[in-house]
Structures are given as structure tokens and as C-alpha cells.
A and B are shown apart, each in its own frame.
Chain A
Amino acid sequence: MSPRLLVAIAVAAALGTAAPLPGQTPIRTGRATASEGVSLRILNLEGSIRVSGWDRDSIDVTGTAEGGSTRSGFYIAGQSGGTGFKLGMDVTAEGQPVGAARLDVRVPRRSRVWIKSNAASIEVDDVRGGLDLYSVSGAVRVSGRADQLSVESMDGDVEIIAASVWLKVKTADGRVLLEGSADDAAVSTVSGAIVIEGGRYARARFESVTGGVELRGAIPRGGNYSFETHSGPVTLRLAPDPDATVSVTTFGGEVRSEFGPAPASGGSIRLGDGEAEVAIRTFRGSVALRRR
């Protein structure tokens, strides 16, 4: 094997009978040296994936195949000290997982990580180089700092309790909970509810077709927030003494306000010095401005 292709892995426990794919070494646990800004692709369709950033120049993987299987089909491939690694669970030619696994991966904090799951839950903590997470039905949770964060889930719930430069979240049915900060945030669902639990977003756009969108907390001064639904209710539970100009456009939704007369559709209400800008648009979703 060419040294450039050598997989530098300290194998703690080699796995038995799964046939390795070219360039891949099946292992149960392992460690590889990696550059600080390493890129990882992690594939695990069933089970769980947990990734944490740490202050070391290595990737450390521990994992167990669920159900006591000895044919876990786990692989890790890369290059000593390299900038790119692939790890995860093999899939069959038909794209089916060979087995479910719980993977616990530690990566240099500035790593860029791409994860794909089907039903496996994904949990990432403090990985700052960029995250691209995809799940069909598994839940996704991100915490710590995640400077560039993209999460897409069809049916799984998404929880982002992280500080980001920019974040983008898309789901179909999955619910989204945000609690953190970002310069730019864009969240979109079809029917999943979106809850923004406080946080600070300089520019934020929250959209759903039928899901409700609820903000609980303050809108930062100078913030620019946009809420749009087709029929989902939009509720702002604002902290005391908000400073925002809230414009409302709705074609069939009821508008209620606990901050004085509710603005008519196409109108706006100025709260405090009106510093932040909030635009709410619904087709027939109700709009409520409430005191928290």
C-alpha cells in the first residue's frame, strides 16, 4: 500500500469478518492523526452519531454495533496527518445499512464535518470549521460553537443551541428549536414548528408552510427578523420593553397584540424606539404579539 494512502490508525480492536472496501479498514475503535482543519465525511444510517471538537490533532473514534453484531461494517479511511477522512458504517449496494451503530467521534475543533444519517440521531458539540448535517428521520442536536452550520432533516427534530456565524436549517415535518446566536439565520420547514428560544440573530428568516413559528424573548437592537407562514400561526412572545418596528401582512389571519391596537394587514406597530425590524407575513396564519 502506498504510504500516501496509508491509513494511520491505531487500531484498538480490529473487527472480524466484514470484507473491507478498497482503502478502508474495518475497525471497532481507532485513532488517526489529522490536520487542524481536517474534513470528515461520516456516514451512519442507523443508530447514533456523536461528534465533539477537542484540542488535539487527531481523530478518535469509538463505537459499538448495536445488537451485539460482530459484523459491524465500520470503516475509517484517510491519510496520516491528512486533510480528509471518511468513516462510518458501510451500506449495501442497495443503499441499506449493514447494521446500526453508535459512533462517538472526537475531531480537531476546527474540523469541517459532513454527516449523513437515515434514522440515526446526530449530536455535534463545538465543531467550528463548518457542519453539514443531513438526516431523514433522526433527531439532530448541535451545541457549543458551530460557525457555519447547515442542517437538513426530513422528519427528524432539530435542536440548535449554538453560536454561529451563519446557520441554515431545513426540515419537512421536523420541529426546530433554536437557542443561540448567529449573524445570519435561515430556518425553513413545511409543517414542522419553529421555536426560537431567545438568542441573538442579526438577520434571521423563519419560514413554514403550516407549522407554527414562535419567538420567545428579545429581538436584539438593529436585528432584522422575518417570519413567514402560509397557515401556521406566528407568535412573538416578546421580552419586556421591546424596541422593534413590527410590520404585518396577512390575507386571512387574525392579528392580535398585547402592545396596543393590533396593526392592520399591511400596517406596522412601533414598539419602544423601533430599532429592530420585524416583518411578519402569513397567508391565513394568525399573528399574535404577546408579552412574555
Chain B
Amino acid sequence: MSCDDVRAILDAYLADELETAERRAVTAHLASCAGCRSEVQAWSELLERARALPRSIEPPRDLWPDVDAALDAAPVVALGAAPWRPRAGLRPVWLVAAALALVVVTAALTTFFLRESDTLLARKLKGMPGAASPSTETRPASEDLLRSLEEQNLPPETIAIVQRNLAVIDVAIAELEAALAEDPDNRELARMLVSTHRKRDELIQGAVRAKEGG
């Protein structure tokens, strides 16, 4: 079994969904391949940390006074002839607070996962010209990866394809992360998340191939 074969079924391996013979083959490969072993370790750690995420994150208490003051100072804007009316007992200000809390939670989760995926992807990129140095491993993954690609002087149209598809994948990853935060023990979601991260890796690797010589 080659490294490519192992990577193709890595998510199923991590989710313990492989048949016995296939699992044995992967295990045998891992025993002799430090690279794949390191990748499995990295993904396992990511999944463990994803499962350990809190179901919600409270915004800092000192955030609210500023928000409240800003809301008081904001002009009232008419939204149309039939304005939306809140249900009795639910003040708009609390709805805004809930929305802000949601933004904070989403931002925190996104930051967390970007850092994690950044580290993994930065490891992969270490061998590439212009790859991120260890000191920059915590920068947003897309920026680092795209910078690496740009440094390889890829045609702009190739970069555009990568950017377009990275955006698609990142939306999917964000949705999976949010779902996993709601249901951290869901193995299927975790497996999908790993699988989607793998596609992200493969997209970058595919773009790098464009620069390989003949």
C-alpha cells in the first residue's frame, strides 16, 4: 500500500470504518512510514480537539457596554412599509446581542480551526519553495498557501481557480465545524470534516503540480 493509497482512505481509517484486511494494510504501512504516521497523528489530534470544543463560547462581559452605547447612538432606519415586529417579551436589543454572540462563537471556532489546519498544511508545505516557516504556522491557512503558490510564479488563471475552489471548500469546512461544535461526538461529522480538509490539501497539491517540469 502506497502513501497515496493510505491518504485516500485516511478518513475512513480514522473513523474506524475500514474492513479488517484494509485496516491491517494501513497499520502495516504506518509502521514503516514516518510521514503517514505523522499525518495520522496530526489528524487524530485535530479531531480530538474538535470533539473537545465547547458547545458555546461566552463573549467577554466587557463587550456589551460598548455595543449598547453604539446601538443607542445609531440612527433609526425605516425598513419598509410593513416593518418586522418582534415577538412580545423579546426586545430587539437582545436579538442583536444574540446575533453578536453568534458572531463571536463563529469567529472563535473559525480561528481555532484555521490555526489547526494551518499547522497541518504548513507541515505539508515545508518542502516547497517559499513555504511557510514554522514561525508563521499560525497565520491563516489560505493566505499562506496562496502566497506559497504565488511565489512559485503560477499563472494568474491557475491561482484564480485555486482561490475560487478554496472558497468553496472553506465554506464547507466552516459549516462542518459549526455542526461539529453542536454535536462534538458525531463521528460522521468528524469524518466529513477530515475528508473535506483532505480535499483542501489535494487542491493545493494539484495546483503545485502545475509547476512541475516535464
Contact = CB atoms under 8 A, between A and B. Distances in A.
13 contacts: A41-B214, A43-B213, A134-B212, A154-B207, A170-B202, A172-B165, A173-B165, A188-B202, A191-B168, A207-B199, A209-B169, A231-B172, A251-B189
A152 B72 CA distance: 56
B41 to A, nearest CB: 24
B203 A172 contact: yes
Interface in A83-102: 86, 88, 91, 94-95
B155 interface: yes
B176 interface: yes
A230 interface: yes
Contacts of B202: 170, 188
A210 B170 CA distance: 12
A168 B153 CA distance: 28
Given A43-B214, A191-B168, 8 more contacts: A116-B209, A116-B214, A136-B157, A154-B161, A172-B164, A173-B161, A230-B175, A251-B189
Interface of A: 41-43, 86, 88, 91, 94-95, 116, 118, 134, 136-137, 152, 154-155, 168, 170, 172-173, 186, 188, 190-191, 205, 207, 209-210, 228, 230-231, 249, 251, 281, 283-284
B195 interface: yes
Contacts of A230: 172, 175-176, 192, 196
A281 B187 CA distance: 13
Contact of A190 (B153, B158, B168, B212): B168
A161 to B, nearest CB: 23
Given A186-B8, A188-B199, A95 B153 contact: yes
A155 B162 CA distance: 10
B210 interface: yes
B210 A154 contact: yes
Contacts of A155: 161
A283 B178 CA distance: 12
A134 B196 CA distance: 22
Nearest to B4: A168
Interface string B166-198: 001100100110010000000011001001100
A137 B157 contact: yes
Nearest to A43: B214
B35 interface: no
Nearest to B179: A251
A68 to B, nearest CB: 24
Contacts of B158: 136, 154
A210 B175 CA distance: 13
Contacts of A170: 202, 206
A190 B161 CA distance: 11
A94 B8 CA distance: 33
Contact of A136 (B153, B189, B192, B210): B210
Given A116-B212, A170-B206, A231-B172, A209 B155 contact: no
A155 B155 CA distance: 13
B214 A283 contact: no
